[in-house]
A and B are shown apart, each in its own frame.
Chain A
Amino acid sequence: MNRYLLSAGAFFVLGTSAAFAHITLETQEAAVGSTYKAVLRVPHGCDGKATTAVRVQIPEGVISVKPMPKPDWTLQVKKGRYEKSYQLHGQEVSNGVKEVDWSGGSLPDEFYDEFVFRGTLAVDLPAGQTLYFPVVQECDGVAERWIEIPAAGQDEDALEYPAPGLKLSPKK
């Protein structure tokens, strides 16, 4: 019995602290077809080192992405073709931002910051599923990759470095 309590306690403590340590999205649910403001919360550096770059991969179906510049950080985007074309305000869109990089800054381990971008969730995204935004956090010479996506049926808590996820709700 004691062992159960102990392991349950350990799970609770470790589980929650681990969840706090992850890079996550502030808003974790949004309707397909809506405009979504993504706020990436970066709670700490890599193993105590200051964060010098945050790079996020835009998943397929998130279109018309515009990142928000940050003072003291260099903002870059990588553009490319989408896997298919999407309808946006009556127009066909087939390419756009695939990756957003904030680099050249310095976010010490003991401080917190947010990195923001905005995009449209395409109407044909599957509601009820979760969309993942893989993030690479770079520090001086090392990187932490928040890019793990749970396999079907796998518990997200079991992942060491889960990618920030956004639950898609039906179109309003």
Chain B
Amino acid sequence: MRWNIRRPASSFRRRNDFWRRALFERARRRLCDIDMSLASFRWTTCRFGKRAGWLAIGLLAAIMLLAVITAPNQAFAHAALVTADPADGTVLAQSPAQFSLTFSEPVSPLVLTLVRPDGTAVPLTSFRLNGQTVEIDNPQTLGSGTHVLSWRVISADGHPVGGSVLFSIGAPNAEPAVSEAVDRGLRSAIWIGKVFLYVGLFLGVGGAFAIAWLAKGGRSGQRFVIAAILCGLVAAPLSLGLQGLDALGAPLVRLAQPGVWQAGLGTSFGWTVLVALVALGLGLLSLVGPRGSARLFALAGLAGVGAALAASGHASAAEPQWLTRPMVFLHGAGIAFWAGALTPLGLAMRRKPVEATPFLRRFSQAILLVVAVLAATGIVLAVIQVQAPAALLGTAYGQLLLIKLGLLFFLFTLAATNRWKLTAPAEAGETEVQRRLVRSIGVEMLIILAIFGVAAGWRFTSPPRALAIAAAQPASIHIHTPKAMADLSITPGHVGPVTASIVIMTGDFGPLDAKQVTVVLSKPDAGIEPIKRAATKRGDGTWRVDDLVVPVPGRWTARLDILVSDFEIVKIEAPIDIRR
């Protein structure tokens, strides 16, 4: 095997360990011939484009919808911290020059802070993104004691994730009191904002659609629909500010600061708000604008509702994107059709039962298809998100889904009764049945509002899909000594049966054709004897251990015994963190 890697000058190598790693990484790829092309990732900052004329707005909505559905096909998931340097719990002899955080996917840092042993916080502003790794410059020499590297990043699904890494210089002191405190006030505000946004989109824009397409001239419920749209028009921008606060981990009182709004706009939720505002505007226009184009505006508005929802959130961020985004779009538009029609229909039935009859007929003709689409898309998304049935009970996300399914069961029972028992006699003009139908529609509305509340609660949970991705992340270390270096990955990086995969090279980036590689895992503080397993060589040049079980989580010492030749053995070791 020929090696084309230039050896850098030794003094430079020592100074710039990072560069060595990069080189090593490159060499390793050649060695393994593994195509590890990382999904490229770009953070687009949303800005208001040219002010589009109202006439072009329908077109704009269509383009946005297309862009949202087709453009982002990067690998998106919920980000999780994979490794940190210094690792959590490390005791360092000297102040590090830089920190690095590696995530399960590319992220964008929002807030990076270093909390010193005396409790004072230093903002870390100088950082670079390198694939999935965030490299952060340490601006000052750190004194002895325990420091906290607190990070808050945003992943592509638009949800901020935060955490802390504790490390000490010299010796640890008492742990500083730093925690990822939950801001209940802010959470409630975000939740309320989301519910009101749903009211605006589903009841408002959906209602406008029902008035334009189903009521045909009937104007019952128009005032309610306008009120709902206005409600959404207030909630949408407010939600953006709240998202910004959450992104920065800032308290509610900072809502007025422009930076907060910029942060909110910078997340994928920014797109949701922009598209939602367009959809709400279109809905409003269909009600108060020229009659001739009301139906067109209403249709564009309904499409905008779907697009707004498809632009951000857990479900839209899930893989495969070509499936999930259109599914969310259809699901959103379907909800708007159904939920939006209920209030105008109910009010029309109560006030002008005769005029309401064609409205009811059209609605009941279409609703079967819409519910079928809702159920199909809902099931597909739930399967993608939850993955295993056990996660329904075991995770907060699954529990919310169960509550939603329970509410849906009531809703479908009511809707089915309405559709198959009450609709025909009501259309025939039976007053008593019409009254029952109106009451039933009222109850349906309440259930739908409750479902909005539950769905808004998902904002604060991680779907089992994302949790599974995080759990499956390997624990990886890089060991570099003058005699040999190695990359060791333990997959998955948590307790239980694991696979260890090792790539070895000489200390100066040359190939290392070892006769034998043995992995030794030890954890003296847990009273566990070293676990020793001989690795087998794979065709791709990596070494592997399959029959390995890591019994307890925490910091282990991983040692690699590399038999270079009959009479020469190289032992290298480093700590590795195994998750629970």
Which A residues fall within an 8 A CB radius of B?
55, 57, 134, 136, 145, 147-148, 161
Closest 6 CB pairs of A and B: A134-B567, A57-B567, A147-B567, A147-B569, A136-B566, A148-B569
What would 17 A/B residue contacts be, using CB atoms closer than 8 Å? A55-B566, A57-B566, A57-B567, A134-B567, A134-B568, A136-B566, A136-B567, A145-B563, A145-B566, A145-B567, A145-B569, A147-B567, A147-B568, A147-B569, A148-B569, A148-B571, A161-B569
Nearest-neighbor residue (CB-CB) of A145 within chain B: B569
Nearest A residue to B568 via CB reads A147
Give the Cβ gap from A134 to chain B, nearest Cβ, in Å: 4
Closest B residue to A136 by beta carbon equals: B566
The 0/1 profile, CB within 8 Å of A marked 1, for residues 230-261 of chain B is 00000000000000000000000000000000
Q: A57-B566, A147-B569 are known; give 15 further A-B pairs, CB within 8 A.
A: A55-B566, A57-B567, A134-B567, A134-B568, A136-B566, A136-B567, A145-B563, A145-B566, A145-B567, A145-B569, A147-B567, A147-B568, A148-B569, A148-B571, A161-B569
Within the complex, the shortest CB–CB distance from A149 to chain B, in Å, comes to 9
Report the nearest B residue to A143, measured CB to CB: B566
Chain B residues positioned under 8 Å from A134 (CB to CB): 567-568
Q: How large is the interface on B (under 10, 10 to 19, 20 to 34, 35 or more residues)?
A: under 10
B330-355 interface bits toward A, Cβ cutoff 8 Å, 1 = contact, 0 = none: 00000000000000000000000000
Considering the chains assembled together, what is the distance between the CA atoms of A55 and B569 in angstroms?
15
Instruction: Name the A residues within 8 Å of B568 (CB-CB).
Output: 134, 147
User: What sequence of 0s and 1s flags, for each residue 550-580 of chain B, a beta carbon within 8 Å of any chain A beta carbon?
Assistant: 0000000000000100111101000000000
B-side contacts of A55, CB under 8 Å: 566
A126–B563 CA distance with the chains assembled, in angstroms: 27
Provide the main secondary structure of the chain B interface: strand
Instruction: Return A157 CB to nearest CB of chain B, in Å.
Output: 15
Tell me, in angstroms, the Cα distance from A161 to B568 when the chains sit together: 12
Chain B residues within CB distance 8 Å of chain A: 563, 566-569, 571
Q: How far is the CA of A6 from the CA of B266 in the complex (A)?
A: 61
Tell me, in angstroms, the Cα distance from A76 to B569 when the chains sit together: 23
Q: How far is the CB of B35 from chain A (nearest CB, A)?
A: 37
Give the CA-CA distance A148 to B566 in the complex, in Å: 11
Most buried by B among A55, A145, A148: A145
Q: Which residue of B lies closest to A56 (CB)?
A: B567
Chain B residues whose CB sits within 8 angstroms of the CB of A148 once the complex forms: 569, 571
Quick one: closest A residue to B563, CB to CB?
A145
Give the chain A neighbours of B571 by CB distance below 8 A.
Answer: 148
> B573: shortest Cβ distance to chain A, in Å?
12
Residues of chain B within 8 A of A161, CB atoms compared: 569
Cα–Cα distance between A134 and B569 once the two chains are bound (Å): 10
B contact residues around A145 at 8 Å (CB): 563, 566-567, 569
Contacts of B569 in A (CB 8 A): 145, 147-148, 161
CA distance in complex: A149, B210 (Å) = 83
A145–B566 Cα distance when bound, in Å, is 8
A145 to B534 CA separation, bound complex (whole angstroms): 15
* Cα A161 to Cα B563 with chains together (Å): 13
Say how far B560's CB is from chain A's closest CB, in angstroms. Answer: 14
Cα distance, A161 to B569, chains bound together (Å):
10
Which chain B residue has the least Cβ–Cβ distance from A161?
B569
Per the bound structure, the CA–CA distance linking A136 and B566 in Å amounts to 8
With a cutoff of 8 Å between Cβ atoms, the chain B residues found around residue A57 in the complex are 566-567
Contacts of A136 in B (CB 8 A): 566-567
Q: Which residue of B lies closest to A134 (CB)?
A: B567
Q: In the complex, which residue of chain B has the Cβ closest to the Cβ of A57?
A: B567
A16 CB, min distance to chain B CBs, angstroms:
20
Write the chain A residue with the least CB distance to B571. Answer: A148
Among B563, B566, B567, B568, the most chain A Cβ lie within 10 Å of the Cβ of B567
Chain B residues in 8 Å Cβ range of A147: 567-569
State how many angstroms separate the Cβ of B483 from the closest Cβ of chain A.
9
> How far is the CB of A58 from the nearest CB of chain B, in Å?
10
Q: In whole Å, how far is A158's beta carbon from the nearest beta carbon of chain B?
A: 11
| Cα separation A147 to B571 with both chains bound (whole Å) | 12
The CA of A134 and the CA of B563, in the complex, are separated in Å by: 13
Minimum CB–CB distance for B242 against chain A, Å: 55
Distance of B324 from chain A, by nearest CB (Å)? 53
Q: Which residue of A lies closest to B520 (CB)?
A: A160
How distant is the Cα of A55 from the Cα of B563 in the complex, in angstroms?
A: 16
Who on chain A is nearest to B564 by CB?
A: A147
Alpha-carbon distance between A161 and B571 when the two chains are bound, in angstroms: 12
A134 CA to B571 CA, complexed, in Å: 15
B93 to chain A, nearest CB (A): 16
Chain A residues, Cβ within 8 Å of B563: 145
Q: Considering the complex, give the chain B residue whose CB is closest to the CB of A163.
A: B567
Tell me how far the C-beta of A164 lies from the nearest C-beta in chain B, rounded to whole angstroms.
12
Nearest CB of B to A21, in Å: 17
Docked pose: A113 CA to B568 CA in angstroms:
25
Distance in angstroms between the alpha carbons of A76 and B563 in the assembled complex? 23
Interchain CA distance A57-B571 in the complex, whole Å: 19
Residues of A within 8 Å of B567, CB to CB, are 57, 134, 136, 145, 147
CA distance A134 to B564 in the complex (A): 13
State how many angstroms separate the Cβ of B316 from the closest Cβ of chain A.
54
